A and B are shown apart, each in its own frame.
Chain A
């Protein structure tokens, strides 16, 4: 067992544990905090793949900015514990087995498919960040710029939804 494999298993286990706790926790704040664990573990996995820039962005944007926003919204809405209704109990008995089945089946398919993948070897150049920048600002400059419109629409949305009652 190489060190890399050990690290991968540890990080993957942490990510899965965080994701489980995210779904199972009844208080939204707990779910939000579990999400941070997932994000950080994912950042570790990216680092393991040699994608140091993506890992840093993952920590700064997701674990940092977006999570702060989540926590703020939850606090602002003063969201309490989830309430269990008869419907949500039904979701547990009907939904849980289905979710487990789908997860296993999906994992099986992906594992089966991935073994057939002949992924190109990682580029030899040691600057994945440069490659990323080239992709983002040349080949994919259009989707990158279009996200500006997406953000504009979102801002417009907050103005519309947040306006004072007339």
Chain B
């Protein structure tokens, strides 16, 4: 009983990403200093290869490695999301790393190897495998968060992230041990079958939820988020708020979708956590004057909307959650990339005052940022609107009127702080004593990322059909 060729084939995207990550790492010392930035091409090639492999493997759905891995449509959807995110982050990071004078090679290697962990989390159908994937993903993000070593604030936030993250992992692992003790298996499909002790299973599932809730930054396990998102280099923040979060949501979705006791047990937990997360994120975002920190709180709030879909627990709701994850990734990637560009060397210009009158100075940049913000707010014709729409409809169909009303109230709360940034950009004159940064042209890579995410935000907002079909197929794989 050894793994066969199909087993490796169904894991091809992760294998390719790992191979390219390793090659980037091994090549780095042999390149001269001025050539190291070229490694970004190799890194992006790796992510593109993984994307291609994901599409290739799509037609051959099924389990692999003795049912530890499921290469189903659900995995396909998340692989697309994760590797596309990795690709865009590497594209945007090149100019940033040059500007901040940070080493290139390790960055791309860590992004690629980290995405292997996230891909494994998305594909894993067994909790020990999930755990290893989670650790790979977490470890690489801990390191990436502390990438600006000379920035004190970044160091402090990275240390917090590391300590709290390890703590959360311990919760997750303890939960896995209890689930195994209660059922004699860690394979999700079999967990519900041989339950010897319901109490232990519930306890284990509760601890597993806590561990994952930390990773998706849902209240009350969100405390690390604002500090880490603010302190990490902006392209890393873009990564943190999208791919690892999507991977952790993938695990939550897979458990909620396949393990019936979890679906039942988690209902009120998800309900409460969703409501709390939305309010905590939106209320705290109202009073932020630092745009990066405000976006961090906004991403907490968005985790809350996705939790609403999880609480609804129907197939349509899972599809809505997946669609939301993709739409959210587009706008957050774009917004954080733009913030990284506007912040200037050393990320010094992050406050609302720095954005005053931006529309006059850089009309295109201001318009693009407005698009992301309006999409985050949920204005029609943007991806964010349809994401919220699908989630709310799924919530109403599942008779979660109360929670959907709370989500709608929160959308209105969010309008205040998103529109405030737009107001500053278009209608507020900067303080005459304020010293403007020399206007920097948008670097090519950054521009490409902005174009791709802005186009994606609009396209998904106007023609959602295609992606929604893939999401529906994905959600149907738990049946």
Contacts and interface: CB of A to CB of B under 8 A. Distances in A.
A33 B421 CA distance: 54
Contacts of A109: 199-200, 203
Interface string B1-38: 11100000001000000100010010000000000000
A138 B203 CA distance: 30
Interface in A89-137: 106, 109-110, 112-114, 116-120
B139 A157 contact: yes
Given A113-B198, A139-B68, A140-B66, 12 more contacts: A109-B199, A114-B181, A116-B198, A119-B184, A140-B128, A147-B132, A153-B113, A157-B142, A161-B143, A161-B146, A161-B149, A165-B150
A110 B65 contact: no
B109 A113 contact: no
Interface in B185-244: 196-200, 203
A156 B113 contact: yes
Interface of A: 106, 109-110, 112-114, 116-120, 138-143, 146-147, 149-150, 152-154, 156-157, 159-161, 163, 165-166
Contact of A149 (B1, B116, B196): B116
B445 interface: no
B175 interface: no
Nearest to B139: A153
B143 A153 contact: yes
B175 to A, nearest CB: 12
Interface of B: 1-3, 11, 18, 22, 25, 65-66, 68-69, 101, 103, 106, 109-110, 113-114, 116-117, 120, 128-129, 131-133, 135-136, 139-140, 142-143, 146-147, 149-150, 178, 181-182, 184, 196-200, 203
A119 B11 CA distance: 33
Contact of A153 (B1, B3, B110, B198): B110
26 contacts: A110-B178, A110-B203, A112-B199, A113-B197, A113-B198, A113-B203, A114-B181, A114-B200, A116-B196, A117-B197, A138-B66, A140-B68, A141-B2, A141-B65, A146-B136, A149-B113, A149-B116, A150-B135, A152-B22, A153-B114, A153-B143, A156-B110, A160-B110, A160-B143, A163-B103, A163-B149
Given A141-B3, A143-B68, A146-B129, A160 B147 contact: yes
A112 to B, nearest CB: 6
Nearest to A155: B25
Given A117-B181, A143-B129, A153 B197 contact: no
Nearest to B64: A142
Nearest to B2: A138
Given A142-B65, A156-B106, A156-B109, A150 B132 contact: yes
A154 B139 contact: yes
B120 A146 contact: yes
A84 to B, nearest CB: 19
Q: Which of A139, A140, A150 has the most CB of B within 10 A?
A: A150
Contacts of B25: 152, 156
A139 B66 contact: yes
B106 A160 contact: yes
B476 to A, nearest CB: 25
A142 B68 contact: yes
Contacts of B149: 161, 163, 165
B136 A149 contact: yes
A156 B25 CA distance: 8
Nearest to B66: A139
Contacts of A113: 181-182, 197-200, 203
B140 A153 contact: yes
Contacts of A141: 2-3, 65
Contacts of B69: 142
Contacts of B114: 153
B46 to A, nearest CB: 14
A157 B113 CA distance: 12
Contacts of A138: 1-2, 66
